[in-house]
Structure 1
Amino acid sequence: MDFQIQYITPDIKLSTYDDKLFKTETVFEYHMLVWFISGETKIIQADKTYLFKAGDIFLIPRNHLATIINYPKDGLPHKAVVMHLTTEKLKHFYAAVELKHKTTGYDAKIYSFQSHPLLKSCLASLIPYFEVEGTFPEHIASLKITEAISILREIDPDVDFILADFEEPGKVDLIGFMEKNYMFNMPLERFGYLTGRSLSTFNRDFRKVFQTTPQRWLTQKRLELAYYHLKEKHKRPSDVFMEVGFEDLSHFSYAFKKQYGLVPSALN
């Protein structure tokens, strides 16, 4: 796998990926502003799937589960400029801003800005800094991040609901959360964190409400979802296994046959 990341600061990077695809399931610690130079990305959340192409600019909120699949496209690598909007920098920015509405308790979403000229100009201006040697001055990095936040707020004032919300995940209904997010192949520690629980409390509460272990329940639910996609949506096994939370096709095929007595391709 040819995967390269260049940093000009810990919060600003240029990622380049040149292979068939790169997939990860993650919860981002910070909001991420992304500008695609080339390639394609599919982002799968519990209730929506997004497809972004070269030129697109979008904002991924922190603390939300997502499956991200990156592809090279048209003979070009998957290449993107990424800016992390950290809690520290956002708190500093919003300390000087008077908000007119409550920001907590808002349902986060991925914000898409297509190829907005102001954002594109801001992010494209970073490219020369990746091409020169030496340390990128911290005060210039801070100015660039402040510029990006200011542009985001000018384009869509509702972005304050995301950027100015500094609350950490609280204890939530376990059944509702897991039924919505079981297809994300995350460590149990992350499931616990996002439901406001330690790992031990998560395991204890899970057994109490589901009457089984988390791993058994997750495998069962993912296989049921895969069966639906194969049987009703007529998808290919190679397209399904990643979307439902399996790491590789062979493990998925083995588990599917063990559960249903036939290989996934038999349903196509």
Structure 2
Amino acid sequence: MNEKQINHYVDLLMVCNGDQRYGGEKTFEENVLVGVVAGKLKVVQAARTLHCVAGDTVLLPRNQPATLLKYPKDGAAYRAIVLKLPTPLVQAYYEHHTPKPTRPAAANLLLFPRSPLLQSVFASLMPYLELEQRLPEKLLAAKIAEVVEVLRSLDIRSDEVLADFREPGKLNLVEFMEAHYMFNMPLAKFSYLTGRSLTTFKRDFKKAFQVSPQRWLTQKRLALAHYQLAEKKKKPVELYLEVGFENLAHFSYAFKKQFGYSPTALIR
């Protein structure tokens, strides 16, 4: 395995902290394991929303859009341990271990309740945050293999995520966009996840929707926001990230430009 395939360990393991609600869209190139230490984590996917509290661990699949929203809870700021699972090391593990027979890869996130095994794994990783040099390759491979073993022992469905090494193939563009428009991704990421070059994506999109991707995305996100405000009685601060906007000011400006009144005016 060449050096480019091994990231510096500090890039693979991190502690995430937050004192107030924050978050944003994530599409990981590697599977990611998040252990919530304090606070609350809300994970929004196209077809599922998951709420994680202290003690929970969630396995986020690679190449699957999700919006991560982090909150304080019970007076404690959000804190989590985040571990990326490098695909080459996971592939190396499965070269010597046959995935358990399960349904075809679902590429869906998995939630693991509090487990002594997972708590032990995270505790053993924490000292490596103090390292300034690269972790020896054999030790890194051993730690990733340990994590995979633990996940597989806790939930047989782990193989559906961990042993799925496929790259995105060409998908039905209309179906994908209708399911994922609320994720604030660059067009290049949308094109990659639908199995297209950026040029082909723009051409196919214009053919399918008769409008540019940027305009269509904005209109769809604002329509969703209008519904959430009017029917679900949500507040602008509660939904702007979930409908694909980076900040509240931009959301409020785009909303008023589209509908002629502000989000707060609609609530009133």
Do they fold alike, i.e. is TM over 0.5? yes
Q: Does residue 243 of structure 1 match 2:263?
A: no
Q: Deviations over 1:72-91 (max 9, x none)?
A: 44454432222211210111
Whole-Å separation in 1 of the counterparts to 2:202 and 2:220? 17
Whole-Å separation in 2 of the counterparts to 1:159 and 1:57? 13
Whole-Å separation in 1 of the counterparts to 2:61 and 2:150? 17
Whole-Å separation in 1 of the counterparts to 2:72 and 2:170? 39
Q: How does 1:123-138 map to 2 (within 5 A)?
A: 123-131=122-130, 136-138=135-137
Q: TM-score, normalised by structure 2?
A: 0.90
Q: Does residue 192 of structure 1 match 2:191?
A: yes
Q: Does residue 230 of structure 1 match 2:225?
A: no
Alignment match, 2:17: 17
Whole-Å separation in 2 of the counterparts to 1:169 and 1:132? 35
**Unpaired runs of at least 5, structure 2:** 1-6
Matched pairs, number: 261
Instruction: Label 1:259 to 1:13 Cα distance change in 2 as closer, same or farther (>3 A).
Output: same
Quick one: which amino acid aligns to residue 56 of structure 1?
D
Q: Deviations over 1:82-129 (max 9, x none)?
A: 22112101111011123454775x322111111111111111122233
Q: Does residue 94 of structure 1 match 2:94?
A: yes
CA RMSD after TM alignment: 2.1
Instruction: Label 1:100 to 1:16 Cα distance change in 2 as closer, same or farther (>3 A).
Output: closer
Q: Deviations over 1:187-236 (max 9, x none)?
A: 00000000000111100000000000001100110011011101110001
Alignment match, 1:26: 26
Whole-Å separation in 2 of the counterparts to 1:76 and 1:40? 9
2:102–2:157 contact (8 Å) kept in structure 1: no
Whole-Å separation in 1 of the counterparts to 2:69 and 2:100? 37
Whole-Å separation in 1 of the counterparts to 2:133 and 2:77? 25
Identity of aligned residues (%): 48
Whole-Å separation in 2 of the counterparts to 1:81 and 1:143? 19
Instruction: Label 1:171 to 1:8 Cα distance change in 2 as closer, same or farther (>3 A).
Output: closer
Using the TM superposition, give the Cα deviation of residue 266 of structure 1 relative to its aligned residue in structure 2, in angstroms. Answer: 2.3
Q: TM-score, normalised by structure 1?
A: 0.90
Alignment match, 1:53: 53
Q: Deviations over 1:143-189 (max 9, x none)?
A: 22111101111111221111111110000000000000000010000
Worse overlay, 236-245 or 130-139: 130-139
**Unpaired runs of at least 5, structure 1:** 1-6
SS class of match (1:112): strand
Quick one: which amino acid aligns to residue 147 of structure 2?
A
Whole-Å separation in 2 of the counterparts to 1:57 and 1:196? 30
Instruction: Label 1:217 to 1:47 Cα distance change in 2 as closer, same or farther (>3 A).
Output: same
SS class of match (1:125): helix
Using the TM superposition, give the Cα deviation of residue 53 of structure 1 relative to its aligned residue in structure 2, in angstroms. Answer: 1.7
Whole-Å separation in 2 of the counterparts to 1:214 and 1:159? 35
Whole-Å separation in 2 of the counterparts to 1:141 and 1:235? 45
